[in-house]
Amino acid sequence: MKQWLISGHEVVAMDDEWLERIKKHQSMQYKHGVVRLMPEGWLYPAAAPVFLDKLQTFEFRSEDVMVVTFPKCGTTWMQEILWTMLHNPNLDNPEASKELLLRSLDISCDMMLDADLWDVVKLHSFEDLFNTLCPGKSLEDGLNIQCLEATPGRRVIKSHFPLQLMRKDLLEKTKVVYVARNPKDAIVSLYHFMRVLQVFNYTASFEDFTRDFMNSELVYMPYWPHVKAAWDLRHHPNLHFVFFEDMKSDIMTELKKLNEFTQANLSLKQLENIADYTTFSKMKSRGEPIQDPMYHKDLLEKHGAYFRKGLTGDWKKHFTPELLEEVDRWIEKNVEVTGICFK
Ligand code: A3P
């Protein structure tokens, strides 16, 4: 029997042959399998539909800011910038010492717990947060979603779920900042991240990974419809579209735009301090995990996890000429169809 989401997406379970193929490259398994949500073909753990339907009635607040991104496109950087602008403009809020993912919760993450990541949840104090904010509630009903519901004030909400899967009136309810990044750098960044995560035990070569990325065979894919939905809404007053590359080349200009968009009303001096506080090196020194069992120790020491290089154009060191030709053709075709003007 066909299953549909409230958003109108059809839920299609991936078959055993597909699951077997994926198993070759990664040990992490989702207990309930993997689904595609059609028509775009979003690939998620089968736990996703329950949470996506819950989000259709989630109360977004007009004062919230939601950071929507495809993975590895600058989410963490933007989360820290926005949280600091809204809650720590003078850099004196003791709450800032808490892990970012506890201050800026991820509404697209609860589905990942289907892969039995409860040890990670415990280790990172998520369970303590849940017990404080949601006494009497059940973790299985959504850790991040329920904590967010119970969080007072201006929330900075992270989402890798694309706009197509959100409630239709999202932009009437709340403000969205969308960060897009050159797909070549996103590919390199995601490859390293999948490898450093011990829970994935990801072993595919960079070439195989890149082809899986282009064919949307990895969880959170596809890439293009994700960016296009936000690109098409880039002139909406409640959506702010920004390129990672622009943040890299002139952060002060981007902070001024965010100041206006969020109506944070910060002074130039405060923005300068935030620019400094959120540089790659400062965020890395405060936020990179050390000796965390979630990560492969050697790869973590060598490359980092959330903070690897923080550069634009690092892809130049990774693609062979043949692979680059394939990726360039893929980009050219999709840029033509979507009209997205990458930097
Ligand atoms: P690299 O792997 O290319 O270094 P996300 O937060 O969406 O997972 O994105 C991660 C990418 O953003 C990583 O890219 C990471 O290094 C980069 N990044 C994180 N914080 C940054 C910062 N303050 N400045 C620049 N890049 C940053």
- Going residue by residue through the chain, which has 343 residues, state the pLDDT in tens, using 9 for 90 and above: 789 999 999 999 999 999 888 888 876 678 888 999 999 999 999 999 999 999 999 999 999 999 999 999 999 999 999 999 999 999 999 999 999 999 999 999 999 887 767 677 666 788 889 999 999 999 889 999 999 999 999 999 999 999 999 999 999 999 999 999 999 999 999 999 999 988 778 889 999 999 999 999 999 999 999 999 999 999 999 999 999 999 999 999 999 999 999 999 999 999 999 999 999 999 999 988 777 778 888 888 888 888 999 999 999 999 999 999 999 999 999 999 999 988 7
Residue 69: CB within 6 Å of ligand 1? yes
**Ligand 1 centroid distance, CA of 57 (Å):** 31
Q: From its phi and psi, is residue 278 left (phi > 0), alpha (psi between -120 and 50) or beta?
A: alpha
Vertex 339: Cα angle to 75 and 259 (nearest 5): 40
Domains of the chain from N-terminus onward: 60-338 (3.40.50.300)
Of 69, 72, 314, the residue with max ligand 1 atoms within 8 A of its CB, to mutate for a pocket test, comes to 72
Residue 194: CB within 6 Å of ligand 1? no
Report the amino acid identity of residue 52: L
Q: Which residues of 303-321 are buried (b: 16+ CB within 10 A; e: fewer)?
A: bbbbbbebebeebeebbee
Structural element, H or E, at residue 225:
helix 224-232
Radius of gyration of the chain (CA): 19
DSSP letters along 20-87, please? HHHHTT-----TT-EEEEETTTEEEETTHHHHHHHHTS----TT-EEEEE-TTSSHHHHHHHHHHHHH
> Is 141:123 a contact under the CB 8 Å cutoff?
no
Vertex 285: Cα angle to 66 and 201 (nearest 5): 75
Residue 186: CB within 6 Å of ligand 1? no
Q: From its phi and psi, is residue 153 left (phi > 0), alpha (psi between -120 and 50) or beta?
A: left
Tell me the angle at which helices 268-277 and 251-262 cross, rounded to the nearest 10 degrees. 120
Least Cα distance to 231 among 150, 334, 321, 141 occurs for 334
**Of ligand 1's atoms, which has the minimum distance to the CA of residue 79?**
6
Vertex 20: Cα angle to 212 and 39 (nearest 5): 50
**Ligand 1 centroid distance, CA of 307 (Å):** 5
**Ligand 1 centroid distance, CA of 77 (Å):** 6
Q: How far apart are the first and last CA of the chain?
A: 45
Cβ atoms within 10 Å of 83's Cβ, excluding its own: 22
**Dist. CA 58–CA 110, nearest whole Å:** 14
Backbone angles phi, psi at 284, to 5 degrees: -65, -45
pLDDT of residue 28: 65
CA-closest residue to ligand 1 atom 22: 280
**Ligand 1 centroid distance, CA of 309 (Å):** 7
Of 75, 76, 318, the residue with max ligand 1 atoms within 8 A of its CB, to mutate for a pocket test, comes to 76
What is the sign, positive or negative, of the torsion defined by CA atoms of 128, 104, 155, 271? Answer: positive
Burial of 110 (0-12, 13-18, 19+ CB in 10 A): buried
